Amino acid sequence: MEDEIQPLLNPTTASASPSVATSGASFTALLGLPPNRAVELLHEPTFPSDPALVDRAARFSVFAAAAAASSAPSPEVSPPPPPTETTKKRKDGGSTNGKAKVKKGKHAEEDTDGENKLPYVHVRARRGQATDSHSLAERARREKINARMKLLQELVPGCSKISGTALVLDEIINHVQYLQRQVEYLSMRLAAVNPRIDFSGLDTFLSATTMECGRLTIGNAKVGAELDQQQQQPVWSEVGVSDSDQMNSTTNSKRPQIQLQQNQLQQFWHVDLLNTQNHLQPSVWERDTVMGSTAPHVQREEQHSFVGPGAVPLLAFDRVNPVAPPIQSNQQLKMEL
């Protein structure tokens, strides 16, 4: 390689990178490399994998002359379009381990010279594997699937220890089924709770809190509540409701204003629950249609040392009769949902 370098040295010494500190080998000076990398390059009759070097190599190296079909010293030609891939293969081909690999390397070279302008495919081609775009895409997909599978494994408790796809899938399926059963069981359990309070706000509460816990913060819940109403109607009317009239009146007129913030929700779970009876006054629990802040609610509730703001959505009071005395509303709401 030294012979090839020599003629190039003279014109390029002027343009040699000023960053080259060492007065080492001319090769190093030419490429502006640290010595160890230069050594690496010396051992490989192939292109370096660093694109910057490839760039330079393209301009100065012998190969550029060979692929002089596009005579412009454009870096496109010599850093063959899929550099990662080809480099890898050429490394394999370049090594003197076996004939087959050398052939493969050459073959790859020819291929890439033909496909100059194709976009990169950053898939590692292992030895003996096909390199056409079809199987590469397939391989990429497979790796994607495996990555997702791993993610699932981490998510499901106890799954990372299991080996074997079938068993892992088993666990995942079991877990999903378990969670779905839990939802079913808990809804029955909630249903069995003797309701002294109206649960017609329960759905919005559940939606709101689930949203809170997981993803969004509900700034203006009014919009959500309105949407909810419109959408909810078909659902409620379909389920066979025994006392449908009363039910509908309560649900339709409710204006759930969920103003939960994440921190308030946490307070909710921690605050001691006291007697609700005294506090079932519409003046306290009635929500403003105007989206005020939760501050007034909080203050009022704290005065009565009741559950924090989180309790508010549980009680969806009928806007139609806002001045109903507590007892009456209790009875009205008692067995309703």
Binding to another protein (CB under 8 A): which residues in 47-76? none
Query: Least separation, in Å, of the C-beta of 175 and another protein?
Result: 7
Buried b (16+ CB within 10 A) or exposed e, 221-238: bbebbeebbeebeeebee
Please identify which residue in 7, 43, 240, 299 interacts with another protein, judged by CB under 8 A. Answer: 240
Question: Does residue number 118 form part of the binding site for another protein (CB under 8 A)?
Answer: no
* The binder of another protein chosen from 234, 290, 299, 323 (CB under 8 A): 234
Element containing residue 313 per DSSP (H, E): none
How close are the terminal C-alpha atoms of the chain, in Å? Answer: 87
Q: Considering the complex, state which of residue 1 and residue 213 has its C-beta at the smaller distance from another protein.
A: 213
Largest pairwise CA distance in the chain: 104
- The contact pattern for another protein, residues 203-232, with x = CB under 8 A and - = no contact, is x-xxxxxxx-xxxx-------x---x--xx
Residue number with CB closer to another protein (74 or 146): 146
Tell me if 82 sits within 8 A of 112, measured CB to CB.
yes
Of 40 and 170, which CB lies nearer to another protein in the complex structure?
170
Nearer to another protein, 99 or 189 (CB): 189
Six-digit token string for 189: 């359990």
Residue 320, Ramachandran bin (φ over 0: left; ψ between -120 and 50: alpha; else beta): alpha
132-161: which residues touch another protein (CB under 8 A)? 141-142, 144-146, 148-149, 151-152, 155-156
**Binder among 60, 199, 285, 317 for another protein (CB under 8 A):** 199
Number of residues that bind another protein (CB under 8 A): 72
Q: How far is the CB of 294 from another protein (least distance, A)?
A: 18
Find the part of the chain contacting another protein (CB under 8 A) among 65-73, 78-86, 93-101, 235-243. Answer: 235-243
Closest listed residue to residue 259, CA positions, set 214, 223, 284, 302:
223
Q: Among residue numbers 304 through 333, which ones bind another protein (CB under 8 A)?
A: 307, 330
276 binds another protein (CB under 8 A): yes
Which residue carries 């002294």 as its tokens? Answer: 196
Q: Which stretch binds another protein (CB under 8 A): 71-79, 84-92, 112-120, 269-277?
A: 269-277
For the record, the structure tokens of 284 come out as 């306290």
Q: How many CB atoms lie within 10 A of CB 335?
A: 11
Going by the DSSP 8-state scheme, the letter that residue 318 receives in this structure is: -
- In the complex, minimum distance from the CB of residue 236 to another protein, in angstroms, rounded to a whole number: 7
Taking CB under 8 A as the criterion, the residue among 99, 117, 134, 189 binding another protein is: 189
Of 183, 245, 283, 299, the one binding another protein (CB under 8 A) is: 183
CB of 82 to another protein, least distance (A): 23
Q: Is 190 in the site for another protein (CB under 8 A)?
A: yes
Exactly one of 194, 283, 293, 299 binds another protein (CB under 8 A); that residue is 194
Q: What is the number of other CB atoms lying within 10 angstroms of the CB of residue 152?
A: 15
CB nearer to another protein: pick between 71 and 146: 146
Write b or e for each residue in 74-96: b if 16 or more Cβ atoms lie within 10 A of its Cβ, otherwise e. ebebbbbbbbebbbbbbebbbee
Please name the residues in contact with 295: beta carbons below 8 A apart, sequence gap of 6 or more. none
Q: Is 38 or 260 the residue whose CB approaches another protein more closely?
A: 260
The stretches of 239-335 forming alpha helices (DSSP H) are 244-253, 262-270, 282-285, 295-303, 326-333
Handedness of CA 231, 237, 239, 242 (dihedral sign): positive
Q: Which of 13, 135, 160, 187 binds another protein (CB under 8 A)?
A: 187
| DSSP H or E segment with residue 175 | helix 165-192
